[in-house]
A = this chain, B = another copy of it.
Amino acid sequence: MNRVSHAENVPLMLMHGKYERETLLKDLLAGAVVAIMLIPQSLAYALLAGLPAEMGLYASIVPLVAYALIGSSRTLSVGPVAVISLMTAAALGDVASQGTADYATAATALALLSGAMMVIMGCLRFGFLTNFLSHSVVSGFITAAGVLIALSQLRHILGIDAAGGTAPALLASLAGNLSALNATTLVIGAGSVLWLVWSRVRLAALIEKLGTSKSLAAIAAKAAPLMVVIATAAASGLFGLESKGVAIVGEIPSGLPAFSVPLFNLDLWASLWVPALLISVIGFVESVSVGKTLAAQSQDRINPNRELIALGAANLGAAVSSGFPVTGGIARSMVNHDAGAATQMASIFAALGITLATLFLTPALYYLPKATLAATIVVAVSTLLNIRAVKRAWLYSRTDFIAITLTILVTLLLGVELGVLSGIVASVGLHLYKTSKPHVAVVGAVPGTEHYRSVNRHQVVTYPSLLSLRVDESLYFVNTSFLETCIEQAVADSPGLEHVILQCTAVNEIDLSALEVLEQLDLRLTASGIQLHLSEVKGPVMDALQRYGFPEQLSGEVFLTHHQAVSRLKPDLIEPYIP
């Protein structure tokens, strides 16, 4: 449990006189490790988004610095991530063709829009809006996005052409072009995948055996992607693999990104605002969940609205430096954390590392096979598949299971944007549907206590002239007609009734629609010689009822406790029914 003061949320680097030599060394090491990991990853995610490789590098410089200055997490690392890159590709595919200048312009516009939306939402304290995404929808979406990403990268590993934004389209496209498979590319791609999978499991242990400390070995093992990049680029250059049909990255312009304010383009913005909003929401939710995980490990706390502003600034940073949408990534943040990052200075060092790579390393990447980059993506997204979440939902609740399954299916079959939207609509709709048919229990006293529970589940005391009903839901327009039918039915089933007491322990709101139904119900019950009472009405609900004058017009009374109501209204001469 976090009991530290809020002042500690300020990144340490911003606090005077506290940034000491030891912290500096830790951050420097973490920054270097993250930079080494980010170089291949940022190239790969640019490829996934359909953009030139250098834009991946650009998106890993200014955004890191922007987040470092504003963000509330000490170890979150920002940059291009798989899911957001996939969403970027889906959004841009609708407005321009890959490889054109318009496509790259649209990418910066998308970063600009989602950045601006995040900053505005953060300033308006709209962080709560992301609450409308349930965990089930998020994990379903990320799982399905992982599958789509892996499918979209298969073409680079097989050396064939394929395109599409949905699983059936990608599969059909891959199957149709399978005859054009390039064996050399497949060897490089599959070999890289095998190396990366093996290195994940074994490399650290092997390095440790060579005599280094366990923690150093773990850090060194993070260089596995860089090693395969260097090895395959070298092989590709030495053996002239390009002439054997292996697609290579080609010329990457060296030097710093061009800084420019994106052009004002209302038409483009009009067609990008919906995907930009979805990218903002998904990016924010993903980043905050990473941030919360990290914070829990370090007794830290993150501030959602400040995170929105920081991520917005990171995206605006991407927009002005020829980048594309970014957010906080789980893998890089865990590496940063595990490498010992103490403050956001680590991210600034990482940005410096990427800058150096951009300035001096790009010529060396000329011969790098695209298959290698695709392999790093495929291995990275394998961790996104969360089958356990589907199992848990199946086990726990039908509505969560419907939400997660629907999100996965719609994302795979109809694409990322409809996937997120249908998930949100399904979660909200299912919740409303559930509240439209609330659980209503006839209750009686648990013998020897003042506690009232359902007659169906407990051995309780009841009286024939007295009907105690507990409605397990707020009374509002969605369930008023169900409520009406339900109470009328219960009354019809209880001959000899004199009192109906609604126990309102679970009623957190009575809206005007429900109040009108209660008024009419009271009139009809009174006409049948039955009084309507309420018990255990909560403070805020009672305030509203009193403002309206409802307690005065009610035929019965409003009791503080249900036990008081039953004690007062129960017949004196008739013995209670005790089971």
- Chain A residues close to B by CB (< 8 Å): 1-3, 128, 131-137, 296, 304, 392-393, 395-397, 399-400, 427-428, 431-432, 434-439, 441, 446, 449-451, 453-454, 456-457, 472-474, 476-482, 488, 491-492, 505-509, 511-513, 515-516, 520, 524-525, 527-528, 530, 536, 538-540, 544, 547-548, 560-561, 563
Contacts and interface: CB of A to CB of B under 8 A. Distances in A.
Closest 6 A-B residue pairs measured CB to CB?
Answer: A134-B477, A135-B513, A1-B528, A505-B505, A400-B512, A450-B450
Contacts of A457: 539
A434 B540 CA distance: 12
A548 B396 contact: yes
Contact of A128 (B397, B482, B508, B513): B482
Contact of A454 (B509, B516, B539): B539
Given A481-B128, A506-B508, A439 B540 contact: yes
B538 A395 contact: no
Nearest to A530: B1
A397 B548 CA distance: 9
Given A439-B540, A449-B561, A539-B441, A482 B397 contact: no
Q: Give the most central of A137, A491, A530, A561: most B CB within 10 Å.
A: A561
A548 B396 CA distance: 6
A131 B396 contact: no
A397 B446 contact: no
B454 A136 contact: no
A351 to B, nearest CB: 30
B131 A560 contact: no
B511 A400 contact: yes
A452 to B, nearest CB: 10
Number of copies: 2
A250 B506 CA distance: 63
Given A134-B512, A560-B446, A296 B538 contact: no
Given A451-B450, A563-B449, A432 B132 contact: yes
Contact of A131 (B480, B505, B520, B561): B480
B488 A1 contact: yes
A482 B132 CA distance: 12
B132 A397 contact: no
Given A2-B492, A428-B428, A516 B135 contact: yes
Contacts of A454: 539
A479 B505 CA distance: 19
A392 B512 contact: yes
A468 to B, nearest CB: 14
B134 A513 contact: yes
A524 B1 contact: yes
Given A492-B1, A506-B506, A520 B397 contact: no
A574 B134 CA distance: 43
